[in-house]
């Protein structure tokens, strides 16, 4: 039986609606560990406690991916008496010394949320510290950067741990409204969607698919990216928009230099429509200012003009190297660099306009039957339910089920 | 997604459709003769009989002894076993190969080069052939291995294996000690193969290129050639390739090999189809065939369509049911052109605009005509899109 103590930082600062965030966090943690085996998850005295019969390493992997968790510790839970706490602390130090034989310094860190406990935090530190020194004479107490840090959390029970594992932080998914995330299959857009979800958004990935200009495998790639995101967010509703005819029409009627901006405007229009179907309140993109021609402030302004919805751009201030590092940490990078081209790269003109005006963009798309193209693209789109890779599916290997196609 | 009307499979150099006789042989080995060939009881004997009969069928296609046939998991393993198995106890530290080998030869040799081996990759001419004088110059007293493919997988070019064998033999007669390996994966069933007469020591074959199953291949091992096993723990395949034999796969391989009798003779018909397709391609403006008909098997046609990305044309043709390959692998936002196409002097842009049509002896005239029919409009349509 493994127990974990989860810290949720920011949520604690919420006022009257704190319980709303906390309930979401408990629900999300419960979902994250549910398939591993019987588990209890409950909120208690400013922490979330997870009790699971599963392999602790497996539970740890899941908890690392629950948004809202700032950090967590595998803990031993004892009744809040001086004797029990001291014994648990010595046990914990013993295990730490076993796993890191070179440890020579330690520190005891007590938090006393339950002020009925007779000793103050300082007193407890001293008492427990003395007991540890007596039992492990080779150890020395040190306040700064100790090799072993014994944390004692005195609440309804006493929680004793020597390990603190960072969580992803943020807010629980489902507490921040709903946004449509434009996902291309590149490196940036999955990271942007991840960052949005980390702030509590329910994210609905939308991909624009241009078969036969791009391969079936580029769609599989996007679904695989969504499967990684789903490890953090839970099941995702993914839209695969039939973009072929839009792409064809743009290629045939729009002047070279303005094709990208018009194509992006068409994507935004489609996303705006789908947001209506999904009752989403915002769009989210992987744009980072100045990276490519379509990401100058002029291009962004011209692209943004087709929607009234707020467009969130979590990557706007990041450099490519930071995005890559984040993608690697999330686990999307290796999928993003798979060798299938997306439609943007295939149709990239030699010299796209870097500073298109809104007037130019509007003039360039005069030859497009925009409402017809949009209706057709949405009508022929697929909507799939994507679950994390660890989730067993009745349908065998294929995790993607068409739900319903809106007309 | 619209579904293709009928399937015209012109990607036979990638893999072939298993012949019904092959499917039957594999099924029989799975359902009835499922014993372990090493078992002493009747089931084991029946399974062993399958192996022997397959070995016999393969040996006949090469005109060699049964004992010279080693079953592997496919062409890649056969090539790796040939290279590493030879070089494990070689005295020399030099290898000769070509610039147009398949990656299952190219990559192991590249790894050896990184470990300090000296590797000479012979250049090829515009048709993709190596020159014998270049080979003669490259051979050294410490040359341990010469590895040359018989038929190129992207172009169909036939290398002068018989002549190369003669040069290697002459070199060895003058004190050289080079082992001669031939990757014949694309050649089997398409050109006559005479490893004994040609002085070939090792020859790699694969079942799934001749309408057999995937996951099974052959290394021909001339008697007397020393080969260090790459895996140990069993006496199967003379200890060179231990492990319980893939009996169903090998049974399928045997069936496919049996069907090869008369296959090379069928080339005249494949040639006709190939010429027909070539004419069709060349009637399209700014399109050219890279495969030289004089020095190639008729089964493979590499063609460049200027101004059309190969991958895009591939997907567009697939919509009309025509399945082909590109010569290039895409990498995220750029395309790395094929080393073979660059080696015969194609420009980067042309290499990226190249697709490969590969026929089988079972391809029909109406399939070729249907392909020609959809090809020109597809190219025109895509060119209009990427003006």
* Interval B126-185: pLDDT, tens: 999 999 999 999 999 999 999 999 999 999 999 999 999 999 999 999 999 999 999 999
CB contact under 8 A, A340 and B333: no
**Where are the domain boundaries for CATH 3.90.1150.10 in chain B?**
8-18+263-385
Strand partners, B147: B181
Could B332 and A338 be called an inter-chain contact, meaning their C-beta atoms sit closer than 8 Å? Answer: yes
Which of A244, A257, A339 would you mutate first to test chain B, the one with the most B CBs within 10 A?
A339
Residues A196 and A84 in one domain: no
Is the CB of A347 less than 8 angstroms away from the CB of B387? no
Nearest-angstrom CA–CA distance, A222 and A207 = 7
A379 and A320 share one domain: yes
Q: Residue A184: list chain B partners with CB under 8 A.
A: none
Q: Is 80 exceeded by the pLDDT of residue A40?
A: yes
How far A343 CA lies from chain B's nearest CA (Å)?
Answer: 10
Same domain, yes or no, for A155 and A204? no
In a domain, A173, yes or no: no
Same domain membership, residue A152 and residue A187 = no
Helices and strands in chain B, H and E counts: 13, 15
Shared domain check, A197 and A155: no
Task: Say which range, A4-18, A164-178, B190-204, B228-242, has the weakest mean pLDDT.
Answer: A4-18
List of chain A residues whose C-beta atoms are within 8 Å of the C-beta of residue B386:
251, 347
* B328-357 residues touching A, CB cutoff 8 A: 329-335
Strands A71-78, A165-166: pairing is antiparallel
Provide the β-strand partners of residue A178.
A202
User: Are B315 and A251 in contact (CB < 8 Å)?
Assistant: no
How many of the other CB atoms lie within 10 Å of CB of A134? 9
Q: Do A215 and B311 touch (CB under 8 A)?
A: yes
Arithmetic mean of pLDDT, B106-128: 96
Q: Could you tell me if residue A381 is inside a domain?
A: yes
Q: Provide the percentage of residues in chain B whose pLDDT is more than 90.
A: 87
d(CA B211, CA B187): 13
Q: Could you tell me what percent of chain A has a pLDDT over 90?
A: 70
Contact yes or no for B191/B264 (Cβ under 8 A): yes
- Phi first, then psi: give them for residue B298, nearest 5 degrees: -75, -5
- The confidence score (pLDDT) of residue A289 equals 86
Cβ distance of A339 and B331 shorter than 8 Å: yes
Domain final residue, candidates A146, A166, A186: A166
> What's the confidence (pLDDT) of residue B263?
84
Q: What is the mean pLDDT of residues A284-308?
A: 88
Fold of B8-18+263-385: 3.90.1150
CATH classification of the domain holding A300:
3.40.50.620
Instruction: Quote the pLDDT of residue A404.
Output: 44
Residues A157 and A205 in one domain: no
- Measured at the CA of B344, the angle between CA B158 and CA B284, to 5 degrees, comes to 90
CATH 3.40.640.10 domain extents, chain B: 20-258
Structure-block tokens of residue B245: 């034999």
A311, β-bridge pairs? A283
A142 & A204 share domain: no
| pLDDT score, position A403 | 41
Same domain, A63 and A85: yes
Identify whether residues A147 and A213 lie together within a single domain: no
**B291: confidence class by pLDDT, cuts 50, 70, 90:** very high
Rounded to 5°, the CA angle B307-B309-B312 comes to: 130
Closest residue of chain B to A336, computed from CA coordinates: B332
Residue A407 lies in a domain: no
Average pLDDT over residues B325-341: 69
Contact criterion met (CB < 8 Å) for A212 and B316: yes
The size of chain A, in residues, is: 407
pLDDT at A88 over 50: yes
Q: Which domain does A311 fall in, by range?
A: 178-402
Split at pLDDT 50, 70, 90, the class of B47 is: very high
| Residue A163 CB partners (closer than 8 Å, separation 6+) | A73, A74, A96
Supply the pTM of this predicted model: 0.82
Based on the structure, what is the number of domains in chain A? 2
Domain boundary among A166, A194, A225: A166
Q: Please state the rounded mean pLDDT for residues B17-27.
A: 98
Q: Which two tokens stand for residue B99?
A: 């610039």
Contacts of B38 (CB under 8 A, 6+ apart): B44, B48, B236, B244
Chains A and B: how many Cβ contacts under 8 Å? Answer: 45
From A213, A252, A338, residue closest to B312, measured CB to CB: A213
**Is residue A208 helix, strand or coil?**
strand
Q: What are the structure tokens assigned to B368, written together?
A: 């070729």
Active site residue B330: yes
Average pLDDT, integer, range B216-224: 96
Do A95 and A162 touch, CB atoms closer than 8 A? yes
Residue A399 is predicted with a pLDDT of 40
- Complex ipTM value: 0.71
A383-400 confidence digits (pLDDT tens): 999 988 877 653 333 344
Q: What is the CATH number of domain B20-258?
A: 3.40.640.10
What residues in A contact B316, CB-CB < 8 Å? 212
**In this structure, is residue A172 part of a structural domain?**
no
Same domain, A58 and A148: yes
Burial (Cβ within 10 Å: 0-12, 13-18, ≥19) of residue A257: middle
Contacting residues of A for B333, CB less than 8 Å apart: 186, 341, 345
- Domain match, A239 and A276 both: yes
B42 Cα to chain A: minimum distance (Å): 38
Burial class from Cβ neighbours inside 10 Å (0-12, 13-18, 19+) for residue B383 reads middle
Position A52 scores a pLDDT of 94
Coil vs helix vs strand at B204: strand
- A178-207 pLDDT, tens per residue? 999 999 989 999 999 999 999 999 999 999
pLDDT at A156 over 90: no
User: pLDDT band for position B387 (50/70/90)?
Assistant: low
Please tell me the predicted confidence (pLDDT) of residue A395.
36
pLDDT-derived band at B333 (thresholds 50, 70, 90) equals: very low
Q: Per-residue pLDDT tens for A46-73?
A: 899 999 999 999 999 999 999 999 999 9
Last residue of a domain, one of A113, A142, A166: A166
In a domain, residue A144? The reply is: yes
Substitution target from B315, B324, B328, B352 for chain A, most A beta carbons within 10 A: B315
Task: Give the per-residue pLDDT at B137.
Answer: 96
**CATH at residue A127:** 3.30.2130.30
pLDDT at A325: 97
Question: Residue A171 domain-assigned?
Answer: no
> Which one of the listed residues B330, B369, B380, B381 is annotated catalytic?
B330
Question: How many CB atoms neighbour CB A47 within 10 A?
Answer: 21
- Neighbour tally for B94: CB within 10 Å: 19
Select the more confidently predicted residue: A206 or A99.
A206
Residue in A212, A252, A340 nearest the CB of B330: A340
Q: Given CB atoms, is B1 within the 8 Å cutoff of chain A?
A: yes
For A252, which of B315, B318, B384 is closest by C-beta distance? B384
Residues A359 and A252 in one domain: yes
**A99 assigned to some structural domain:** yes
In a domain, A151, yes or no: yes
Sorting pLDDT into bands at 50, 70 and 90, what band is A353?
confident
């Amino acid at each position: 039986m493994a127990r974990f103590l989860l810290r949720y930082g920011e949520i604690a600062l919420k006022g009257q609606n704190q319980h709303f965030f906390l309930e979401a966090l408990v629900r999300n943690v419960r979902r994250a560990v549910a398939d591993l085996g019987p588990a209890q998850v409950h909120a208690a005295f400013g922490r979330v406690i997870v009790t699971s019969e599963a392999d602790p390493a497996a539970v740890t992997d899941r908890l690392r991916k629950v948004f809202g968790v700032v950090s967590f510790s595998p803990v031993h839970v004892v009744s809040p008496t001086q004797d029990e706490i001291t014994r648990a602390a010595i046990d914990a130090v013993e295990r730490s010394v076993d796993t890191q034989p070179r440890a020579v310094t330690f520190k005891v860190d007590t938090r006393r949320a339950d002020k009925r406990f007779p000793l103050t935090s300082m007193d407890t530190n001293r008492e427990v510290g003395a007991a540890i020194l007596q039992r492990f004479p080779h150890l020395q107490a040190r306040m700064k950067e100790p090799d072993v840090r014994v944390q004692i959390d005195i609440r309804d029970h006493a929680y004793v741990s020597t390990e603190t594992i960072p969580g992803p932080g943020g807010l629980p998914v489902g507490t921040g409204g709903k946004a449509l995330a434009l996902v291309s299959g590149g490196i940036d857009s999955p990271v942007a969607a991840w960052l949005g979800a980390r702030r509590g958004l329910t994210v609905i990935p939308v991909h624009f698919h241009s078969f036969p200009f791009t391969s079936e495998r580029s769609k599989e790639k996007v679904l695989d990216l969504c499967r990684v995101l789903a490890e953090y967010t839970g099941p995702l509703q993914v839209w695969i928009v039939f973009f072929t005819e839009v792409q064809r029409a743009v290629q045939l009627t729009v002047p070279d230099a303005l094709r990208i901006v018009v194509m992006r405007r068409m994507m935004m229009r489609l996303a705006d429509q789908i947001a209506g179907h999904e009752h989403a309140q915002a769009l989210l993109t992987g744009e980072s200012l100045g990276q490519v021609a379509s990401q100058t402030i002029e291009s962004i302004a011209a692209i943004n003009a087709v929607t009234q919805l707020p467009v969130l751009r979590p990557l706007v201030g990041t450099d490519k190297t930071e995005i890559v590092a984040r993608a690697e940490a999330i686990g999307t990078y290796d999928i993003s660099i798979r060798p299938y081209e997306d439609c943007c790269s295939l149709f990239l003109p030699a010299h796209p306009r870097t500073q298109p005006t809104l007037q130019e963009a509007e003039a360039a798309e005069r030859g497009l039957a925009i409402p017809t193209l949009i209706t057709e693209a949405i009508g022929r789109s697929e909507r799939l339910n994507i679950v994390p890779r660890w989730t067993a599916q009745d349908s065998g290997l294929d995790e993607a089920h068409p739900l319903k196609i809106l007309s | 997604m619209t579904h293709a009307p009928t399937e015209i499979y012109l990607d036979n150099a990638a893999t072939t459709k298993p012949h019904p006789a092959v499917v039957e042989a594999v099924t029989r080995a799975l359902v009835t003769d499922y014993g372990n060939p090493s078992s002493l009881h009747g089931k084991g004997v029946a399974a062993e009989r399958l192996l022997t009969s397959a070995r016999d069928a393969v040996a006949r296609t090469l005109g060699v002894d049964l004992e010279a046939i080693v079953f592997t998991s496919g062409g890649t393993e056969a090539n790796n076993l040939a290279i590493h198995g030879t070089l494990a106890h070689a005295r020399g530290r030099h290898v000769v190969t070509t610039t147009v080998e398949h990656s299952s030869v190219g990559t192991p040799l590249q790894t050896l080069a990184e470990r300090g081996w000296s590797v000479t990759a012979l250049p090829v001419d515009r048709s993709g052939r190596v020159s014998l004088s270049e080979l003669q110059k490259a051979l050294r007293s410490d040359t341990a291995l010469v590895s040359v493919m018989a038929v190129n997988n992207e172009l169909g070019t036939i290398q002068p294996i018989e002549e190369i064998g003669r040069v290697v033999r002459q070199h060895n007669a003058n004190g050289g000690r080079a082992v001669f390996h031939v990757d014949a994966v694309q050649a089997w069933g398409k050109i006559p193969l005479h490893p004994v007469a040609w002085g070939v020591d090792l020859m790699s074959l694969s079942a799934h290129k001749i309408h057999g199953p995937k996951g099974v291949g052959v290394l021909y091992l001339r008697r007397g050639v020393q080969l260090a096993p790459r895996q140990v723990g069993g006496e199967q395949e003379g200890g060179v390739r231990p492990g319980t034999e893939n009996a169903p796969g090998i049974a399928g391989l045997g069936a496919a090999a049996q069907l090869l009798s008369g296959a090379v003779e069928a080339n005249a018909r494949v040639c006709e189809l190939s010429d027909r397709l070539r004419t069709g391609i060349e009637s399209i403006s700014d399109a050219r065939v890279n495969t030289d008909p004089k020095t190639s098997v008729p089964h493979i046609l590499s063609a460049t369509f200027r101004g059309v990305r190969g991958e895009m044309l591939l997907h567009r043709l697939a919509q009309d049911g025509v399945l082909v390959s590109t010569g290039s692998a895409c990498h995220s936002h750029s395309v790395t052109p094929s080393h073979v196409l660059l080696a015969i002097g194609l420009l980067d842009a042309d290499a990226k605009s190249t697709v490969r049509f590969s026929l089988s002896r079972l391809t029909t005239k109406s399939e070729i005509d249907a392909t020609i029919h959809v090809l020109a409009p597809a190219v025109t349509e895509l060119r209009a899109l990427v003006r």
